Amino acid sequence: MTKRISRITAILLIALCLSGCSGSLYEREYVMMREHSNFPSDGDSDGEIIAEVSSAAAIREACVNMIRDYVRYGIILFAEDYDGDPAEDVPIICQETAENTSLGIYAVNSINYAVMRRDGVLEAEISIDFKKTSQEIRNIQYTGSRRDIEELISSRLEQAESGVTFVSQLRDIDEEYIQNYITELYYGDALLSAYEPNVTTEIYIGFDNEIIVEIDFGRRYSQTRTLEMLEQMIGEAELYLTEYSGSSTGQWLMHVCDKLGNSVRYTNPSSLYTRTINDNTAYGALCEKKAVSEGFAMAFKAICDLNDVECFVVRGQKDGAEHFWNIVMLDSEYYHIDTTVVSGEGMYRAFLKNDTSLGSEYTWDRSAYPECTGFTTYYDLMQEEIY
């Protein structure tokens, strides 16, 4: 058991000066570090005995369990064979639990205490000032691997939860990892959420082996409304499958581009007067019929996902400005499709283009997406339709 003698001595001296106490601990005198206004007054004390301890480690475990169980006030009894001096150990452990453990940093403002002998038994009264609610603490999930973390985040997004809090022993988890994973998840599964989460992450790091990660998804709407929007969006996307009677994937892709182009109005991303809050989403394109390039690309991917056609949302630039489009697989080859350009300039301009024929006005991180090398064109599909 580590003893910090100089620090303990200073703490005890300060406590004695502040309280004006003198005499022995074993004469029912309090040894206090903080004001004890959080303790129940005499006659109102309903603190339960939460543990009987014989070591400093057991005190620490009891304090952590009080936080986990949201126990505001409790009593720790010291066994006759206690290994150490409670008057020295309790102040240090309470402070370290509150300030140096991930759970303490996350959940409490302070831990107050008093050590005394009552009816011949040495005990410590522990009072916790919480900054989180009991529900917030009970909602903490315990994870093992990165896969556990990613499955947890994915399931909470799918359920349109407001966020998630979890414990992990992977101390390399950081805000960048969380943001990148959720962004990848959103663009990789267009049927997961009706709009992109506006993520904020807080990470609570103590000197223990655990971290607590608190993620707020930044929902635009209530859980009920968000799920309704997702259901409505999927319903609109399904029409692109049920309204097509052919069997050719290429012809179907052409049908999707044509229908999107004719039913969705493009909004200028630089215009404050025509933009809407959802125009960068599949919901905005499919349900509100207004979209910027990101909304067109997300809607196209949502439709392809429903039909099990491999599709990617590409985030790049066109003419130097941020722009979104898609890459799809057709007959084992990848192609570019830009439904935004198709809607304004026609199918021939941006439908089934390879990396060479797409046009020099497009730039993107080529290492992040499949290489497009196919040679089928819009005109080939038109000939196929004729014959």
Beta strands (DSSP E) in the chain are: 48-53, 73-78, 108-118, 121-130, 141-142, 163-168, 200-205, 211-216, 265-266, 290-291, 311-318, 321-330, 333-337, 351-353, 362-363
Residue 169: DSSP 8-state: S
CA distances from 112 to 15, 71, 265, 315 (A): 13, 13, 62, 53
Q: 186 and 120, same structural domain? A: no
**pLDDT tens digits, residue range 110-127?**
999 999 998 889 999 999
Tokens of 87: 């008057």
**Dist. CA 57–CA 167, nearest whole Å:** 21
In terms of domains, do 237 and 176 share one? Answer: no
Over residues 261-276, the pLDDT tens digits come to 999 999 988 776 677 8
Angle at 61 between CA 56 and CA 66, to 5 degrees: 125
Q: Same domain, yes or no, for 175 and 56?
A: no
**pLDDT (0 to 100) of residue 26:** 25
Q: Are residues 185 and 284 in the same domain?
A: no
Q: Which residue intervals of 31-165 are DSSP H helices?
A: 56-68, 86-100, 102-107, 134-138, 146-158
10 Å Cβ neighbour count for 262?
8
Let me know whether 288 and 155 are in one domain: no
Cβ burial of 159 (10 Å; 0-12, 13-18, 19+) is exposed
Pairing between strand 211-216 and 200-205?
Answer: antiparallel
Residues 125, 73: contact at Cβ < 8 Å?
yes
Report pLDDT for 271.
73
Q: Which two tokens stand for residue 357?
A: 């024929």
111 and 227 part of one domain: no
Phi and psi (nearest 5°) for 54? -125, 5
Q: How far apart are CA 106 and CA 206, in angstroms?
A: 9
This prediction has a pTM of 0.82
pLDDT per residue as tens digits for the range 344-369: 999 999 999 999 999 899 999 999 99
Burial class (CB in 10 A: 0-12, 13-18, 19+), 367: exposed
Is 105 in the same domain as 181? no
**pLDDT score recorded for residue 336:** 98
Q: Same structural domain for residues 106 and 241?
A: no
Q: What is the pLDDT of residue 340?
A: 96
Chosen domain end from 134, 169, 203: 134
Does one domain contain both 151 and 94? Answer: no
- The pLDDT, as a whole number, for residue 359 is 85
Which tokens is 300 given? 């196209």
Q: Are residues 178 and 320 in the same domain?
A: no
Instruction: Give the C-alpha separation, 68 to 210, whole Å.
Output: 14
Structure tokens at 321: 């400005």
Number of structural domains the chain divides into: 3
Q: How many CA atoms, within 13 angstroms, populate the side-chain half-sphere of residue 24?
A: 4
Q: Answer with the one of 78, 101, 134 that is the final residue of a domain.
A: 134
Who's near 354: CB < 8 A, 6+ residues apart?
335, 336, 372, 373, 374, 375
Tell me the β-bridge partners of 74. 48, 126
* Domain end residue (candidates: 157, 184, 216): 216
Which pLDDT belongs to residue 30? 33
Per DSSP, the three-state class of 270 is coil
| Residue 273 pLDDT | 66
State whether 261 and 353 are in the same domain: yes
pLDDT of amino acid 272: 67
Residue 344 confidence (pLDDT) = 92
CA quadruple 351, 354, 356, 361: dihedral, nearest 10: 40
Q: Please give the full DSSP string across 41-57, using - where no structure is assigned.
A: PTTT--PEEEEEESSHH
Q: Which residue range(s) make up the domain with 23?
A: 5-134
Q: From first to last of the 387 residues of the chain, give the pLDDT tens digit.
A: 333 333 333 333 333 333 333 332 223 233 333 334 444 444 334 568 999 999 999 999 999 999 999 999 999 999 999 999 999 999 999 999 999 999 999 999 999 999 999 888 999 999 999 999 999 999 999 999 999 999 999 999 999 999 999 999 999 999 999 999 999 999 999 999 999 999 999 999 998 889 999 999 999 999 999 999 999 999 999 999 999 888 899 999 999 999 999 999 999 887 766 778 999 999 999 999 999 999 999 999 999 999 999 999 999 999 999 999 999 999 999 999 999 999 999 999 999 999 999 989 999 999 999 999 999 999 999 887 654
- Whichever domain contains 269, its CATH number is 3.10.620
CATH number of the domain enclosing 186? 3.30.110
84 and 189 housed in the same domain: no
Smallest CA-to-CA distance from 340 within 261, 284, 279, 270 is with 261
* Predicted local confidence at residue 270, as pLDDT: 77
